[in-house]
Amino acid sequence: MTESTTSRHIQISTIKDRSLFPNLRAALTVAALLAATIGARAQAAPSAPDASAQTAASQAAASPPAATQTAATQAAAAPAKPGIALSNKKAPKVHKQKKDEKVVLSKDTRQEDKKAKKVNPIEVQDAKLPDKALYDKAEDAVKHGRYDVARLDLQTLLNTYPDSQYMMRAKLGVADSWFKEGGTAALTQAEQEYTDFITFFPNSPEAAEAQMRIGDIYFRQMDKPDRDYSNTTHAEATYRQMLQQFPDSTLVPQAKQRLREVQETLASREADIAAFYASHSNWSAVIARYQTVVDTYPLYSHMDDVLVGLGDAYEAEATITRSMKAPPGASKAQLEMFEAGKARLLKIYDDQAYAAYSKVVLEHSAAAHVEDARDRLVGMGLPIPTPTPDQVAASAALENSRGQYTLSNRVEFFVLHKADTVPAATLGDPPLEDAKPTLAPDVLRKSVSDYYAAMLPAANPPRTSAGAAPLVPSEPDSAATAPPPTAAAPLALQDVPAAGADAGSGSSAVLTSMPEASPAPTSGGTAMGIEIVQPSSGSPAPLATAPASPPVFPGSESPAPASVAPAQSEPASNSAHPNPNDNMGGIQPAGTTHAAITAPIEKPAAAPDAINEAVPGSQPPAQIAPASGKNPKPAFDKANDSSSKHKKKKGLAKLNPF
C-alpha cells in the first residue's frame, strides 16, 4: 500500500515537470547561463553568493518556457565579458618591468657599496656567531633598560673573545650603558669608560663620539649660572678638545652648538656678577667683568646689555671726576691746572663710554636695547654712528638664530635646577681659546695712572729699584784714586820651596800669578785656578803664633816644649781698613783670631761593680711552701660569700649592707 502511493506521487511530479519544461536540455542550458551570471556578480559581492544564486534559480524555475527561451537567446547573442572567472579568487597581476624602467648602477656606485661592506663588516657577518649573539643580546637589554644584564653580556664577550671584531663596539657599549643609566655614580663610571676607550682606540671614528659623550656628561650636570660652575667649565674644555682633535667628525656641528650653549651659561654668570658689583658702585670690578664678557664670549645673547653696562660704568667714573673739587686756598694758577687735568680725565672716560655705546649701535643693531645706547649717545651730545648693510644683516641673522621661550621651557627652568640655554645662538663659530681676562686690580691701577697722567702731566718721577742705595767707600781719598781692578791672568803652579828650607823664618802669604798671555782655546771641560802660597824673605813675621807651652790639665801628659817666636799683636788698622788685595776681599773670618786651646776630653770613669746584697740560700717568708705541700684556702668572707658552699652571694643577699 505504501509503495503504490509513493510510485504514484513520483509519476505525478514527473508529469508536472514535463509540462513546465518540455525540453530538458534547454532548461539545463538556461540554468548554466544564469549560474555564470550569478558567479560574476558574486565576485563583486562575495558576502551573499549563495542567497543570490538560490533566488535566481527559483526565478528561473518559476518563469514560463517562452521567457526562458528568449533569455537564453539574448544570453547567447551577448558577447562574453573578459576577465570573468567562475571562482572567487583574484588572479595575481604580474607587472613586467620594462627595460627603460630598470635602474642600472654605475661603476662608482658599485665600488662604494663594496667599500661600505668592508668598512662595516658586522652587517655581512653571520648572526649565528657566538660573539655576535652576545652583542645582539646586550643591545636588546640596553633597549629594554636592563643595563646590568647588558654590561654582563658585553664583559663576557670581552673576556671570552679578545680577538673578536665586536671588541671595540662592546667596550663602547659598556660606556653607553652607564651613560644611559644616569645618576652621579653611573655618569662618573661612564666618563672613565669613555676615557679608556679613547686611550685604547684613539684613531677610530668612535673616538670622537666618546669625546662628545664626555662633554655630554658634564653638560647634563650643569647647574644654574649662580651655582657651582665647575661642571660648566669642564664641559667647555671637553667640547673644545673634541673640536680640536676631531675636526673632520660628523659630530662637529653638534659639538659647536653645545659649546655655544655652555658659553652662554658662563657669560650669564659673569654678567650677573658685574650687575651685583654695579649695585654696590664698585666700578673697577664692573668694568673688569663686563670687559671679560666682551672679549671672551662674543655670541652672548645679552651682549647689548653688557656693552651698555660697560659704558654706564665709565660714565659713573666720569661723574665721580666731575664731582671733584679743588683744595681750599688754591691759587688761580692751581685752579686752572686742576680744571685742565679734570677735563683731560673726563675725556678719557667719555671716549671709553662712547666706544661701548657705538659698538651696540654698529654691531648689534637688531638687539633689543639698541635704543638705550642711542639715547645715551644723544645725552652725551655725541654723533650716533650708522651701521653698514652688512653689519645690519649679520646682526639680524644672529638674533633670528636664537631660540624662543615656550611655556614648557619656562616651567622646566622654574622647577628644575638647569642652566638656561634657550637664547643661545645657532650661528657663528664659538671661540676655542679664552682671551686674557680683565682683572679689577689692573683696572684700578690703570685708573690711578690715568689720574696722575691727567692731573700731573709734567711730573714723571724716576722709578728706582727698592732697597738700592749707593755704596760709600770706607776710605774716600784712596778709593777715589784707586784704579779699577783688572782681570787677573789664569793662575798656574810655580816653584814650591823644598820642605825644611828656611822653615823657621817668618813669612807672609804672597799671591803668585803668571804674566798675561793669549787666551787658550775654549774646551768642553772646566778650568781651575790655583793660588800658590810661598814664603818671602823680606816679609815681616807672622801676626800670631801658638803659645810657647800649652796649658797642662789634670790627667793629661805634659807636652814637649817648643821654641817659637813670641806672639805679636795684630795691628788695629787691619780691622778698620781691610786690605783690598786680600783674596777674601777684605772679609774677615768669623770668630776670634787667637783661639784658646781647650782641655782634652777626659776619659770617663769606670762604672762601679754590681753588688748583690741577697744572701745565697735565703728566701722571703712568703715564698716558703707549706709543710703539707698544699696551698691553704683563702679566708672566708661572710659579707660576700654564702655560708653553705662559700660561693658568691646572688640575688637580694648581695644588697645586704650588714
Integer angstrom CA distances of residue 225 from 73, 262, 322, 501 = 97, 10, 37, 91
Higher pLDDT among residues 587 and 514, named by residue = 587
Comparing CA positions, the residue from 346, 230, 224, 226 lying closest to residue 274 is 226
656 exposed, middle or buried (CB, 10 Å; 0-12, 13-18, 19+)? exposed
Note the pLDDT of residue 589: 59
385/558 Cα distance (integer angstroms): 107
Sign of the C-alpha dihedral, residues 243, 247, 251, 254? Answer: positive
User: Please, are residues 447 and 317 in contact by the beta-carbon 8 Å criterion?
Assistant: yes
More confident residue, 592 or 363: 363
Domain ranges in the chain?
A: 2-77
Average the pLDDT over each of 123-132, 174-183, 389-398, 588-597 and give the range with the smallest value: 588-597
User: CA 492 → CA 195, 356, 495, 645, distances in Å?
Assistant: 65, 73, 10, 107
The least confident of 53-57, 89-93, 263-267, 314-318 is 53-57
301-328 mean pLDDT: 93
Cα–Cα dist 223/233, whole Å: 11
Longest dimension (CA), the chain: 193
Task: Read off φ and ψ for residue 488, nearest 5 degrees.
Answer: -75, 150
| pLDDT 10s digits, 503-512 | 444 444 444 4
**Distance of alpha carbon 530 from alpha carbon 512, whole angstroms:** 10
Of the candidate ranges 184-188, 489-493, 528-532, the one whose mean pLDDT is the lowest: 489-493
Which pLDDT value is given to residue 96?
Answer: 60
Task: Give the position of cell 816679609.
Answer: 539
* Closest by Cα among 270, 260, 180, 256 to 212: 256
Average pLDDT over residues 616-620: 60
Counting runs of H as helices and runs of E as strands, what totals does the chain give? 21, 2
Query: Is residue 305 within 8 Å of 271, Cβ to Cβ?
Result: yes
Cβ(187)–Cβ(217) below 8 Å: yes
For the ranges 74-78, 156-160, 262-266, 619-623, which has the lowest average pLDDT?
74-78
Contact 31, 39 (CB under 8 A): no
**In angstroms, rounded to a whole number, what is the distance separating the alpha carbons of residues 225 and 221?**
12
Measured CA distances, 105 to 99, 101, 187 (Å): 14, 13, 47
C-alpha cell at 545: 803664633
In angstroms, the CA 208 to CA 242 distance is: 7
So what's the pLDDT on residue 13? 47
**Inter-residue contact 299 to 398 (CB < 8 Å):** yes
> For a pLDDT cut of 70, what percent of the chain falls above it?
56
User: Taking the CB of residue 261, how many other CB atoms lie within 10 A of it?
Assistant: 24
Mean pLDDT of the residues in the chain:
73
- β partners of residue 532: 512
User: Which pLDDT tens digit goes with each residue over 420-477?
Assistant: 899 999 999 999 998 999 999 999 999 999 999 988 877 644 443 333 333 333 444 4
Residue 106 pLDDT class (50, 70, 90 cuts): confident
Strand partners, 533: 511
User: Packing angle between helix 65-77 and helix 24-44, nearest 10 degrees?
Assistant: 60
| Closest by Cα among 606, 608, 607, 601 to 555 | 601
For residue 454, give the C-alpha cell. 691727567
Q: What is the pLDDT of residues 541-573, one digit of tens each?
A: 444 444 444 444 444 444 444 444 444 444 444
Residue type for position 658: F
CB 586 within 8 A of CB 579: yes
Decide: pTM greater than 0.75. no
pLDDT, greater one: 179 or 497: 179
Q: Which residues contact 546 (CB under 8 A, 6 or more apart)?
A: 562, 564
Contact call for residues 207 and 246 (beta carbons, < 8 A): yes
